[in-house]
Amino acid sequence: MIISTKKGTPKEELEKIVDRFEKQGLDVTLITGKDYNVFGLVGDTTKIDERDVLANPWIDNVTRVSAPYKRANRLFHPADSVIDCGGVRIGGREKIAVMAGPCSIESEEQALRIAQSVKAGGAALFRGGAYKPRTSPYSFQGLETEGILDMVKAREATGLPIVSELMSEDRIPEFEEYVDVVQIGARNMQNFQLLKAVGKMHKPVLLKRGLCNTIEEWIMSAEYIMAGGNEQVILCERGIRTFEKYTRNTLDLSAVPIIHEKTHLPIIVDPSHATGKANLVEPMMIAAVAAGADGLEVEVHYDPPPRMERWCPVPDPGQLCTGHGQMPPGRMGHRAGDVTLSGPSSPTGRAFGRTGRRRAANADHDPTRQKH
């Protein structure tokens, strides 16, 4: 439920309104602006009669919110949320943030080498998998704690905050200590027990969309985390399953403006897992930025074999590629020293920047008049 007060409502009257609803067991969020003061009520609002609320001479309007999500809803929080990820700010009008790194951490040498390369290319965060959810139980499952510590050493050497996927509650203490951004993968998007546990963490959470989930289901998963007390949530569109077989998944870029319309949360796009083809990563990066994405997550490796085994030695070809295949000569990521992930000549730099992006209304705008 959204309640707006009249212009010039005294502070003591606002406090009385908050106190009244809190005594009814509701969580109250007060948004103060120059022209409007807006209350967002979360909880069982069925017992509230709008006529009783409007009887207060300071109340201007009462609107029931039909969407099942509340804390993520832009009606409750008109301004864009900006999430601090180890010193890198994501969301709002901040610079587009690029997270880049290998699908799996294979060794300290590999982690350091790729981290240095992506930093030189303009990436703001280093991503890598230490715990890997694989379709086959016989596939490489990751280095686990060893991989996390390899990423920590890469952070010490480069200064890049690290992003890694959490798969189980028992690893939360490890992630609280070492990881800057906790990623919840597509397969765990509706692991509600894990989401509740992550809601008690004190780290930013990167929540990937499930393989076959709707946008509303995805937002509701974010709501689980936020309801637990952790409102540092970033959404990540990484493609969904459709009947199309040419690409690994189908990248749903329409999700970007929809998320910005319906929620105040930042959203980034992962074109590597979405397409599964290196030659499609760059154009999808550009398209994602044009759609309004707040950041990108790109998978890179200097020698990506079709099957990565832990005991394989790390080759030294000096090449870096994006996605699940080798980049052709002359394209972004051809050589480690040539990788450019930001700047005026890069995909993120030339994809229109922030010009023309739909930005959220601030608190001075009456959110009850928006159509959602």
Q: Are residues 93 and 20 in the same domain?
A: no
Place of tokens 């599964």: 276
Full strand arrangement of the beta sheet holding 27-32? 27-32, 37-42, 2-5, 59-63
Residue 280: the pLDDT is: 96
**For residue range 313-343, what is the model confidence (pLDDT) as tens digits?**
333 333 445 544 333 333 233 223 333 343 3
Q: Are residues 23 and 121 in the same domain?
A: no
Structure token pair of residue 107: 């060794």
**For residue range 67-87, what is the model confidence (pLDDT) as tens digits?**
889 899 998 888 999 999 999
From 64, 92, 110, give the residue that closes a domain: 64
Q: Are residues 124 and 22 in the same domain?
A: no
Residues of the chain with confidence (pLDDT) below 70 = 305-372
| 70 assigned to some structural domain | no
Distance CA 106, CA 214 (A): 34
| 358 assigned to some structural domain | no
Q: Are residues 116 and 42 in the same domain?
A: no
Q: Are residues 166 and 312 in the same domain?
A: yes
Neighbours of 86 (CB within 10 A): 17
Report the CATH number at residue 36.
Answer: 3.30.70.1140
| 72 assigned to some structural domain | no
Q: Are residues 140 and 255 in the same domain?
A: yes
| Exposure string over 31-69, b if 16+ CB within 10 A, otherwise e | bebeebbbbbbbbebeebeeeebeebeebbbbbebebeb
Q: Report whether 154 contacts 130 (CB < 8 A).
A: no
Residues 6 or more apart whose CB falls under 8 angstroms from that of 135 comprise: none
Residue 27: the pLDDT is: 87
Distance set, CA 247 to CA 63, 274, 339 (Å): 43, 7, 24
Residue 37: the pLDDT is: 84
Q: Are residues 156 and 26 in the same domain?
A: no
Report the CATH number at residue 253.
Answer: 3.20.20.70
| 77 assigned to some structural domain | no
Domain limits for position 173: 83-350
Q: Are residues 6 and 149 in the same domain?
A: no
* Residue 167, amino acid: M
Specify the 3-state DSSP secondary structure of 296.
Answer: strand
> With a threshold of 0.85, does the pTM exceed it?
no
Q: Are residues 90 and 157 in the same domain?
A: yes
- Alpha carbon 287 to chain centroid distance? 17
Q: Are residues 60 and 91 in the same domain?
A: no
| 73 assigned to some structural domain | no
- Dihedral angle over CA of 66, 291, 208, 319, nearest 10: 180
Residue 273: the pLDDT is: 94
Q: Are residues 96 and 58 in the same domain?
A: no
Q: Are residues 121 and 231 in the same domain?
A: yes
- Per the structure, the count of domains in the chain is 2
| 284 assigned to some structural domain | yes
Distance set, CA 339 to CA 55, 168, 186, 318, 320 (Å): 63, 34, 28, 12, 8
Residue 368: the pLDDT is: 35
Torsion sign over Cα 101, 204, 267, 157 = negative
